[in-house]
Structure 1
């Protein structure tokens, strides 16, 4: 497993997570852009994800819920894609919603995911989250953002290794 690198820049109101994964850029890209893959790995350890909508194009909606297995999702998220460069960049604005996809978050944050091939079988993923304020950054960090992503990236790595 590759180490998760975490940096926090309060001046930029940003948290950056970096992780090298075993998988081609194409395989890692598909893990972020298909319902089946997202439902297999997305979220913290011990949680399941239910994708209600996934339209990977600028202006497209990604709506999903997360929670413990066997129960209704505890958390609903909606994201609207702002930039999609196939195999290279996904950018979206993400915030809390309800099960219908209604935007309930006045402080949605901007996320950019960069996919860079290290070699044919390894990809460097950089996830950059920019918040509306330092207070919002600290609030989301206190909710376990980094710990959740550490588990999520471990799940993603296992998912990628399980693929032929």
Structure 2
């Protein structure tokens, strides 16, 4: 995985040994997301998705000891199967109300066919450099790496 930071933009890129249509499916199907979303030691006990432009995804990540929960909500802006998913991602509460005190992010996921594999480019634009620094300081890079490792394991398992 490669990471670049330019101002308020964080980009992660990684190649997965799976066809683009399958990768798109595991990014857009809540049954698949339950297997890999979140860092190591976290589960996805709440996973309600309406995957369409104008739809949303409300989820909760929970630590393995049950002591910590992290609620989030994604609002889908553009979906071009199997090429791109554009959404706004926010911290939220259990009811899905957005947390205005935490940084939100505009995400463009691009899936590119690459020698029989799929390259995912995760382009995340934050409102400011400070907002980006906040999530980096929270461990976003490690969490993202672990999550994409879990995605790779899941893709290998289902092929």
Place the TM-score, normalised by the shorter chain, in its bin: over 0.9
Distance 1:98 1:114 in 2: 28
CA distance in 2, matches of 1:25, 1:31: 10
SS in 2 for 1:94: strand
**Superposition pairs of residues 98-113 of structure 1, within 5 angstroms:** 98-105=93-100, 107-113=103-109
Superimposed CA distance per residue, residues 73-128 of structure 1 (whole angstroms, 9 cap, x where no aligned partner): 610000100110010000100111011111113542101101111133x1000001
Gaps of 5+ in 2: none
Partner of 2:113: 117
Whole-Å Cα distance in 1 between the matches of residues 94 and 88 of structure 2? Answer: 18
Q: Decide whether the 8 Å contact of 1:52 with 1:63 is kept in 2.
A: yes
Moved more, 122-131 or 42-51: 42-51
Task: Say which of 2, 15, 26 aligns to 1:5.
Answer: 2
Q: Say if 2:19 and 2:113, in contact at 8 Å, map to a contact too.
A: yes
When normalised by structure 2's length, the TM-score is: 0.94
Distance 1:72 1:64, change over 3 A: farther
Alignment of 1:1-164 (within 5 A): 4-10=1-7, 13-69=8-64, 71=66, 74-105=69-100, 107-120=103-116, 122-164=117-159
Runs (4+) off by over 3 Å: none
**Contact kept? 1:65, 1:73, Cα under 8 Å:** no
What is the number of residues matched between the two proteins?
Answer: 158
Residues of 2 paired with 1:72 and 1:39: CA distance? 19
C-alpha separation in 2, matches of 1:85 and 1:72 = 38
Deviation at 1:69, TM superposition (A): 2.7
Q: What is the alpha-carbon root mean square deviation over aligned residues?
A: 1.4
Instruction: Give 3-state SS (helix, strand or coil) of 2:130's partner.
Output: helix
Question: Please, which runs of 5 or more residues in structure 1 have no aligned partner?
Answer: none
